[in-house]
């Protein structure tokens, strides 16, 4: 849970972890999707590709949270993972409040 309205910039940090090491390069696409939180108002829409070089088992994705002074109930957005190469997905998404 991240509290909006903080003066200092904040990020939600996701760690994507492989279940085991690989001798191959692994890639996976990621993208945020609106839930009750709206990109551009509550957080910065983020997408890209994670690349796991051989032997690397985790990568980090940072999603910037936009500060405002509006008193709001808890809101959520989702980080979706898709199109893995040289791997398969376990749990493919997570919601953040």
Domain spanning 10-86: CATH 2.60.40.420 = no
Query: Domains of the chain: which residue ranges?
Result: 10-86
69-97 pLDDT, tens digit per residue, is 677 788 889 999 999 999 999 865 565 65
* pLDDT confidence tier of residue 34, bands split at 50, 70 and 90: very high
- Picking from 79, 72, 80, 76, the residue whose alpha carbon sits closest to that of residue 96 is 76
Q: What region, left, alpha or beta, does residue 49 occupy, with left being phi > 0 and alpha being psi -120 to 50 degrees? A: beta
- Picking from 35, 12, 24, the residue whose alpha carbon sits closest to that of residue 84 is 24
Mean pLDDT estimate for the chain = 87
CB 18 within 8 A of CB 33: no
Q: What is the pTM of this model?
A: 0.84
Reply yes or no on whether the pLDDT at 60 is more than 70: yes
- State mean pLDDT over 38-51: 95
């Amino acid at each position: 849970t991240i509290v909006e309205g903080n003066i200092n910039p904040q990020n939600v940090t996701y760690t994507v972890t492989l279940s085991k090491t690989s001798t191959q390069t692994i890639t996976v696409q990621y993208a945020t999707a609106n839930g009750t939180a709206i990109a551009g108002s509550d957080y910065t829409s983020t997408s890209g590709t994670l690349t796991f070089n051989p032997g690397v088992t985790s990568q980090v994705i940072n999603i910037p949270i936009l500060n405002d002074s509006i008193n709001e109930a808890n809101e959520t957005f989702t980080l979706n993972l898709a199109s893995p190469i040289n791997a398969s997905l376990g749990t493919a998404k997570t919601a953040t409040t």
